[in-house]
């Protein structure tokens, strides 16, 4: 029996495993980097062990340090979570060699399936070797990868070498293994997967299907179970293939077999020898705790001969600290508040007041809704996300709500090209036009000790706010009867709640301010000074860092005086384990270049200037 378990991971998945351990009466051990010293997963664990350093290569990818931490803390088992070393056979062997229980498949099974090139050979498939024009488009993938890292779509043969180099660098940074391979890229297919659970007694459960077609940068955004619209024959086919893959490597524990479904056919992609990020939708539908099942299997307990019956439908949305309208750029800063309405499962590694840093994945949380039907589950999740209080950096919340309500998704006609087709419409700013007024009135009430009452009419007061990239000026007046604003009747106003009557309809605005940052319902505003500071202005054509990160590369031959075209890549930033391309904003001449490889930059840092011709 496992008594103390160390999770060789961080953030949301570590918190998720610890939650089940508490229910099972198992003590918990967290490992943490210096950047995570005050992270939630450290705070909720019974014991914590520091891994000196901040980068994944120095900390969460150091299997030797993690095994030492397990032994030193008295742990008798290790759970790998997902990502980092979760599919590293060498790490699994080191855990077992140290006399610890490994909560996962055998090292041989991981070795057979964790390398996507080996997995394809095992399933009778081969990666491309000599790529020609006839093979395009192709997909470059990290052999040891996951989560979309180390993946690149190549549509032009001239781009292949550069994309291979970028994929290798990203894979080495994220997984400690820079091996990549190339395969045909099937466009507009559906990403369908099968959850399996196997014990040490020969029983394998295929736990239904999941659809994970809504993806950005090959990372899943919305997932659901079961996968809608599949024929009974196709469901049986992918389930049988998943069981076949598991039996081929004597698989034990939880795993996922992934397919690309196109033209009514299922194409094998890979087998993930670990728990998936999207496992909660399967848990909801089957009424299982997959982490608890992993632990029981690791303790040698047998599964029942048949799995439980599936009930209802579940949908999960990943909430990221990122700006989808700005090339999905990750965001950092203080997460002041994260609150979801009741009835929605929220798996997260953050609480109010935590800081979102630059070193790791920008996922804040996973929100999951379960209901008798798909329509009800989608409606519940979209509504909950819309009403959630998420105060802090920019997130993809609005994108999630619009995605869930998009007719292609509600009709189950989505595919992996969904965001390629619809991103501009899904990210079109639709700020609430009355949010600036509500913010100004709440600010006026919050600053006034006597409610703003005056015996004589006052001059109009003005406030300026930045909202959705534009400046807005609002005017209001203190009168004997309270606050007034042109065209809008102020029903109520205090520091946190404003009620306005617009065209005979009363609307409520919840207002929360954190310094100059103001949240009005789910609209974010920035209070602006009355007169702008001229020293903060930048020349036209300036390229500013959209995120904190490290300059990892400058385009070959790029120097001051170089002619560039709009959209040309100029340099690359690495942030949150992904590389982000910075392109020329206009066609013209590079007149300044401030970025050099290895340089750490903050958001808004001036990287380069292109003078338009």
The catalytic residue positions are: 274
Measured distance CA(27)–CA(249) in Å, rounded: 31
Which residue from 63, 32, 64, 65 is spatially nearest to 47, judged by alpha carbons? 32
Which residue from 359, 32, 323 is spatially nearest to 174, judged by alpha carbons? 359
Q: Tell whether the torsion through CA atoms of 87, 91, 97 and 101 is positive or negative.
A: negative
Which of helix, strand or coil describes residue 541? coil
- In terms of DSSP H, where are the helices of 270-416? 279-286, 290-298, 374-387, 397-405, 407-410
Which of helix, strand or coil describes residue 118? helix
Measured distance CA(554)–CA(594) in Å, rounded: 11
Beta strands, E only, 248-394? 253-262, 265-272, 313-320, 322-323, 329-330, 333-335, 337-339, 345-348, 354-356, 363-371, 389-391
Which residue from 597, 590, 596, 613 is spatially nearest to 543, judged by alpha carbons? 590
Structural contact between residues 147 and 219, judged by C-beta atoms closer than 8 angstroms: yes
Structural contact between residues 250 and 179, judged by C-beta atoms closer than 8 angstroms: no
Measured distance CA(141)–CA(179) in Å, rounded: 9
Which residue from 573, 591, 588 is spatially nearest to 327, judged by alpha carbons? 573
To which residue do tokens 């903060």 refer? 536
Which of helix, strand or coil describes residue 391? strand
């Amino acid at each position: 029996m496992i008594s103390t378990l160390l999770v060789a991971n961080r953030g949301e998945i570590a918190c998720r495993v610890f939650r089940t351990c508490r229910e099972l009466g198992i003590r918990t051990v967290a490992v943490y980097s210096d950047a995570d010293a005050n992270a939630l997963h450290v705070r909720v664990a019974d014991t914590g062990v520091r891994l000196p350093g901040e980068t994944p290569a120095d900390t969460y990818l150091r299997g030797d340090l993690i095994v030492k931490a397990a032994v030193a803390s008295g742990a008798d088992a290790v759970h790998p979570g997902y990502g980092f070393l979760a599919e590293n056979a060498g790490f699994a062997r080191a855990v077992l060699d140290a006399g610890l229980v490994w909560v996962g498949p055998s090292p041989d099974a991981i070795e057979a399936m964790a390398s996507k090139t080996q997995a394809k050979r095992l399933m009778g498939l081969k990666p491309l070797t000599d790529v020609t024009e006839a093979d395009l488009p192709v997909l470059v993938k990290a052999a040891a990868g996951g989560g979309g890292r180390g993946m690149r779509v190549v549509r032009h043969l001239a781009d292949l070498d550069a994309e291979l180099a970028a994929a290798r660098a990203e894979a080495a940074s994220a997984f400690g293994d820079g091996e990549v391979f190339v395969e045909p890229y099937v466009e507009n297919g559906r990403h369908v997967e099968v959850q399996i659970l196997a014990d040490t007694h020969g029983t394998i459960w295929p736990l239904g299907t999941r659809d994970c077609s809504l993806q950005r940068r090959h990372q899943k955004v919305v997932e659901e179970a079961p996968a809608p619209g599949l024929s009974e024959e196709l469901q049986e086919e992918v389930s049988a293939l998943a069981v076949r893959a598991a039996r081929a490597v004597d698989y034990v524990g939880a795993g996922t077999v992934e397919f690309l479904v196109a033209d009514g056919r299922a194409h094998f992609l890979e087998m993930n020898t670990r728990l998936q990020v999207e496992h909660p939708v399967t848990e909801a539908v089957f009424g299982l705790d997959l982490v608890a099942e992993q632990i029981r299997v690791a303790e040698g307990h047998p599964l029942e001969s048949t799995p439980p019956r599936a009930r209802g439908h579940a949908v999960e949305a990943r909430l990221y600290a990122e700006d989808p309208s700005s090339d999905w750029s990750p965001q950092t800063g203080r997460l002041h508040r994260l609150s979801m309405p009741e009835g929605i499962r929220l798996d997260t590694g953050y609480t109010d007041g935590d800081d979102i840093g630059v070193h790791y994945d920008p996922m804040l949380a996973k929100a999951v809704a379960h209901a008798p039907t798909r329509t009800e589950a989608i409606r519940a999740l979209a509504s909950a996300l819309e009403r959630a209080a998420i105060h802090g950096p920019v997130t993809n919340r609005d994108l999630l709500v619009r995605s869930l309500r998009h007719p292609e998704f509600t009709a189950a006609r989505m595919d992996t090209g969904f965001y390629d087709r619809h991103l501009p419409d899904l990210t079109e700013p639709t700020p609430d036009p009355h949010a600036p007024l509500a913010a100004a009135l709440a600010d006026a009430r919050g600053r006034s000790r006597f409610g703003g009452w005056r015996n004589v009419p006052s001059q109009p007061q003005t406030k300026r706010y930045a909202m959705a990239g534009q400046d807005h000026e609002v005017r209001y007046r203190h009168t004997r009867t309270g606050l007034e604003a042109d065209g809008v009747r102020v029903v109520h106003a205090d520091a946190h709640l404003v009620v306005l009557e617009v065209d005979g309809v009363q609307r409520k605005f919840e207002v929360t301010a954190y310094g100059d940052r103001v949240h009005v319902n789910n609209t974010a505003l920035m209070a602006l000074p009355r007169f702008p500071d001229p020293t903060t202005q930048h020349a036209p054509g300036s390229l500013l860092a959209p995120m904190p990160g490290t300059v990892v590369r400058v385009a070959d031959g790029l120097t001051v005086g170089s002619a560039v075209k709009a959209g040309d890549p100029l340099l690359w930033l690495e942030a949150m384990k992904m590389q982000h391309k910075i392109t020329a904003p206009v066609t013209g001449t590079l007149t300044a270049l401030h970025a050099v490889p290895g340089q750490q930059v903050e958001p808004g840092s001036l990287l380069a200037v292109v003078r338009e011709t």
